[in-house]
Structure 1
Amino acid sequence: MKTKYKFATAIKALMVTQSLDKITVKDIVEHCQLTRQTFYRHFQDKYDLVNWYFEKLVQQSFKQMGIRYTLREALIEKFNFIIDEKIFFLQAFNSNDYNSLINYDYECIYKFYSDIIKSKLDCQALDTQTDFLLQMYCRGSIAMTINWINQDRGLSPDQLADLLIEALPIKLSLLLSDIQ
């Protein structure tokens, strides 16, 4: 695990001066003085590294929702983590690669909310309307989070969390009410 964090530290340091899309695996391994072989033993590519690091955030916030945190508390925790790692998230969310953090974040939150709703409804799949609303909400919440990071509109993590919860479609709000 320490090796993975060394790679994460290296890519974060490189992101201070260059965009994620321009950083190479060679740059990463040279920065942390490890080998390409070691890198590829742990990650498929630099985007896999970025997504792994993001997964650490998910474990600290969203995966604790309903256990230790409400939806609001988990969102605030996520946004505080983003503030603490602002350069990393600015670079990661602005990548244009298919394997970018935007797509990974979408898959994570969509699956998370979908699993909660399916469990609550005791079903194997979401109906078309609920699935549409959930896809729209997940994509919109990611877009607004990126907007918040890029434009720094002066919203606190608490305010952004409140707005995203308020933006939940009524049907989803009712289905997720016990974690709010």
Structure 2
Amino acid sequence: MIERPTTKQLLAASLIELAGKKSVDKISVKEIVTNCGMTTTTFYNHFADKYVLLASIYNKEIEPAFSQLGNKISWRDALRIFCITLSDKQSFFLNALKNTSGQTSFRYATNDYAIDLLRERLRILGKEDELPIEIDFLAKYYMRSISEMIQDWFIGGQKIALDNFIELLVLAMPEPLKKHLL
């Protein structure tokens, strides 16, 4: 059976297409919906603003890595997925990283989402209703750090080989997280 794209997928595809022609900070919601034949009401039924849509494009790609973490994939595999996801749509994600800033920035939105996913996965892996304060703090600290490093690595032209870069990210992991993630 042929699967039809969802409204969210069509809006994402429209933003990706438009970002191939201009800076994401210059793209309006009106342009996004006009490009895919929708209305602004439809857009706002699904996303608070274009920055939420922008972050959701990356977040949708990384969700499976977190859901399979500890079962089907290792932390190193998850890190590889985070990096490769950026490379697969290189021009789009470079546009997003370079042309957004502040609390609406691509960095900020994707980072917070990744922190939430990691916390949830650690809670499940540790079979705990709530993460201990130390683990919760270190998860946020570590994810913020690696998210920034991955984005800097990506923007900087990926000068460190991917496997070496991943090993450096693993090496930087706080000791108390290792029993959960490695």
**What range is the shorter-chain TM-score in?**
0.7 to 0.9
Q: Where does residue 132 of structure 2 map in the other structure?
A: 126
Distance 1:170 1:115 in 2: 19
Q: Does 1:8 align with 2:21?
A: no
Report the CA distance shift for 1:97/1:31 in structure 2 as closer, same or farther (over 3 A).
farther
Q: Does 1:22 align with 2:53?
A: no
Q: Where does residue 71 of structure 1 map in the other structure?
A: 75
**How far apart are 1:171 and its partner, in Å?**
1.7
Q: Where does residue 110 of structure 1 map in the other structure?
A: 115
Amino acid at match of 1:113: L
Identity %: 28
**How far apart are 1:68 and its partner, in Å?**
2.0
Whether the aligned pair in 2 keeps the contact of 1:137 and 1:168 (CA below 8 Å) is yes
Would you identify which runs of 4 or more consecutive aligned residues in structure 1 move more than 6 Å?
Answer: none
Q: Does 1:53 align with 2:35?
A: no
Post-superposition Cα deviations, 1:138-168, rounded to whole Å, max 9, x if no partner, equal: 1111111111111113334333222211110
- Normalising by structure 1, what TM-score? 0.83
Q: Does 1:83 align with 2:84?
A: no
Q: Select which of 41, 46, 59 maps to 1:42.
A: 46
Query: How many residues end up aligned between the 2 structures?
Result: 176
Whether the aligned pair in 1 keeps the contact of 2:55 and 2:109 (CA below 8 Å) is yes
Q: Which runs of 5+ in 2 are unaligned?
A: none
Whether the aligned pair in 2 keeps the contact of 1:6 and 1:32 (CA below 8 Å) is yes
Q: Which runs of 5+ in 1 are unaligned?
A: none
- SS of 1:61 mapped into structure 2: helix
